[in-house]
Amino acid sequence: MADEVYYIIFTDDGETDENAYISATGLNNSGDSIMVTKPGGTGSETETIGYGSITFGSLKNSRSVVVGDEPTTITAVKNWYNSSNVALTDAEIAAVAPTGVQLQLYQVKDADGTEYDTTVAYGSAVKVTASDGWTATWENLPKTGTEGGVTYTYTYYVQEVTQGNYVTTYTNNGGITSGTIGVINKVDYVDVSVNKVWVGDEDNTSDRPGGVTVVLKANGTECGRQTTLDSSNSWAYTWTGLDKYSGGKEIKYTIEEVEVKYYVSEVTGDAATGFTVTNTYIERYNLPSTGGAGAWTYSVGGLALCGGILLVLYKRRRSS
């Protein structure tokens, strides 16, 4: 522990230092003093400190006075790249994250001599945008401290809260006591193709429709990107510039064809290699002609036949 000791109270957003001092110490006003245990000392080794001895952090950590080394600073800097590791332009970044992103600082509190660490979200997430250079800074963070007679060491790391069409990686983010963490967002897009194959109707294409509708789905949900395949586009189409990621996870694209009369549809392939929709013709059969006699003729004939059978049965019964 450093020779010079810092007494730290962490405040809520918008809270005054005076109110934080009163809340943490239980005193009536900021002019009163409190007695604390000296760093490394016992309960009998104390000293009196007042409001002027306190260093106030920008985020709430706990409602006790934390005794520790000189506070530290953690900075997170975000960078944007495409899939070829080329930095995005401001316009390209604005298209991906028009309202900025949220970064959350986490504190790992390690009690000396214990097996498990405690990790807590340190304050609220911080919004970063182009106007602040995609940079967040947390100041007056404790590196070590004594709470309730227990000595702690503190390390920090950052995670991005909001994610869109990109994956996020980090540098220098393994739990540090000070310094700069790199937050790297890599944006990527994909193209998805589809083509149509007709089978079984080569001798008679009269039942083929003028066009068919194919629906694109993202993770099983229609995404408003349907298209029509017809002779004008050679029964093929490519969706370009589709987001590759959603929430930091790769999107699974599939397709579905709207039902085509007289054909059975089968989809093969995938988004990476392209989809093929094969429509196999279901041959239609026409009933043979009845010669134009009409239904009435057959109805009368059927009734006469039934009557004849009944008459024969009746005569046989009387004879017996």
pLDDT tens digits, 100-112: 999 999 998 887 6
Instruction: Answer for the pair 265, 275: CB distance below 8 angstroms, yes or no.
Output: no
Q: Note the residue count of the chain.
A: 320
For residue 164, name the pLDDT band (cuts at 50, 70, 90): confident
Between CA 243 and CA 259 the distance in angstroms is 27
Instruction: Report whether pLDDT(131) > 70.
Output: yes
Average pLDDT, stretch 179-184? Answer: 96
Rounded to the nearest 10°, the torsion over CA 221, 224, 229, 235 is -70
Q: What pLDDT is stored for residue 54 in this prediction?
A: 63
| Strand (E) or helix (H) holding 165 | none
For residue 2, name the pLDDT band (cuts at 50, 70, 90): very low
For residue 3, name the pLDDT band (cuts at 50, 70, 90): very low
Strand-pair category, 66-68 with 135-141:
unpaired
Between CA 49 and CA 32 the distance in angstroms is 9
For all residues of the chain together, what is the average pLDDT?
Answer: 80
Instruction: Answer for the pair 236, 201: CB distance below 8 angstroms, yes or no.
Output: no
Q: What pLDDT is stored for residue 35 in this prediction?
A: 63
Instruction: Report whether pLDDT(186) > 70.
Output: yes
| Strand (E) or helix (H) holding 123 | none
Q: What pLDDT is stored for residue 254 in this prediction?
A: 97
Whole-prediction pTM value? 0.62
Between CA 182 and CA 243 the distance in angstroms is 24
Average pLDDT, stretch 4-17? Answer: 60
Question: C-alpha distances in angstroms, 171 versus 76, 102, 119, 151?
Answer: 10, 17, 19, 29
Return all residues near 197 (Cβ < 8 A) that are at least 6 apart.
276, 277, 278, 279
| Strand (E) or helix (H) holding 91 | helix 90-96
| Strand (E) or helix (H) holding 307 | helix 294-319
Q: Which amino acid is residue 214, in one-letter code?
A: V
Q: What pLDDT is stored for residue 114 in this prediction?
A: 58
For residue 313, name the pLDDT band (cuts at 50, 70, 90): low
Instruction: Answer for the pair 187, 96: CB distance below 8 angstroms, yes or no.
Output: yes
pLDDT tens, position by position, 200-231: 998 889 999 999 999 999 999 999 999 999 99
CB atoms near residue 187 (< 10 Å): 21
User: Residue 223 is encoded by which pair of tokens?
Assistant: 């995404």
Between CA 190 and CA 169 the distance in angstroms is 20
Q: What pLDDT is stored for residue 130 in this prediction?
A: 94
The one-character DSSP state at 13 is T
Tell me which of 55-64, 125-134, 140-149, 297-306 is least confident. Answer: 55-64
Instruction: Report whether pLDDT(320) > 90.
Output: no
Return the closest-CA partner of residue 255 out of 241, 234, 236: 236
Between CA 154 and CA 105 the distance in angstroms is 12
